[in-house]
Amino acid sequence: MATEFKLPELGENISSGTVTKIMVAVGDTVSVDQAVVEIETEKAVIEIPSSVAGAVKEIRAKVGKSINVGDVVFVVEGGSKAAAPTKPAPEPPQARSPEKPEAAPPAAPAAPVQSAVSGGTALASPSVRRLAHELGVDADKVQGSGSGGRVSAEDVRAFAAREQAVAPVEATHREEPPLAPADRDRWGAIERQPMSAIRRKTALHMSNAWQTIPHVTQFDSADITSIEAFRKQYGPRAEARGGRLTVTILLLKVLAAALRKFPRFNASVDMENQEVILKKYINIGVAVDTENGLLVPVVRDVDKKGILDLCVETPHLAEKARTRKLTLDEMSGGTFTITNLGGIGGTGFTPIINAPEVAILGVSRSRVEPVFANGSFAPRTMLPLSLSYDHRVIDGAEAARFLRWVVEALEQPFVLLLEDTEASK
């Protein structure tokens, strides 16, 4: 008797993914809960366990191809099926639903637009028509490959490439064969690189945040000379625990205290109901630069954890991000984000808010500067900070006070002890 293994639910609002690895072959014996296929969604790479057991008779999924929830991955012979498939941890609702590459960004897809011209009619979404306009293509002349003749973004790009290929060439002699249409645009040679699922998700997420959130960025700098001395003194303790004592770790603790003092920075906004939602928990996302794009694992309950615990947990999450082992749950539920570019360089930048959060702290590279204090100049290690905030929820004066508090806490760590004392009363 043949039994089909179908792709189970991957998480809320996730209906498909890309197959990155198939871990079984025809003839293999599969057991229930055995990892059998790896799927890349918009936020993470997930290993999917089998809900069936038996000998693999046929594999229908293909590496590099998209697969939908409910599609058959493989078929086993003479096997059994588990009572219920194991599901990955669900993803909390996002500000928008994941979209396919050609879908209209980033909120709910707009209804298709049908228009009639002398050359015929075309069924195309506004985003596809916008792309056609940018490429100098008449969308109504493009033959759609989708259902009912719908014109996709790829149809437009292919049409543009063909048009460019047959355009008049000024040169009368060409010693080398021309490039294929897909390798040229009007101005010269090009290379097309498909977006990964993570890159597509990042693009949609950032576009939506930039378009819907009124961003303002507040800049300041902190004298971290004492903090650096503290790091050098107590770094070995963190290393003995298998962790690292970094500026980011210390900022996590400072930010946790700041978010308790300024709760509107630990919030989200519900414009439909005209409410600000204050979070009673403090989960801080730490942006990680990976080969696959920007990922933001979330450190939960930062205010309840000690510095040495954070020294171990945070680098562990960062390494999982780099090796594509993060779960959806480990990237969900953040209330504030920190992004540190100090290891790369720069004197400042304007980070984009990680919606539905209302603020994000950017950190640039520290440097030793001459600072005038007590009648003379002295070398001090200064750390540039950039706070972007949602002006619908936070006013400028409040943002300035928040960032100044963070600066003073870094310069005078005793402030944190006072805050902890007040919070415990």
Residue at token pair 């945040």: 209
What are the C-alpha distances in Å from 377 to residues 226, 369, 380, 410?
17, 9, 9, 20
**Nearest in space to 219 (alpha carbons), one of 93, 400, 89:** 400
Residue at token pair 């999450």: 317
**Phi, psi values for residue 222, rounded to 5°:** -120, 140
> Is 133 labeled as catalytic in the residue annotation?
no
Q: Which two tokens stand for residue 371?
A: 């600072």
Q: How many CB atoms are located within 10 Å of the residue 110 CB?
A: 11
Catalytic residue among 173, 205, 215, 391: 391
β-bridge partners, 55 = 29, 77
Q: Which two tokens stand for residue 200?
A: 């597509």
**Phi, psi values for residue 195, rounded to 5°:** -70, 140
Q: What secondary structure does DSSP assign to 109-129, as a single string? A: PPPPEEEEETTEEEEE-HHHH
Q: Which two tokens stand for residue 275?
A: 């409410």
**Rounded (5°) CA angle 259-91-329:** 65
Q: Are 413 and 223 in contact (CB under 8 A)?
A: no
Active-site residue list: 391
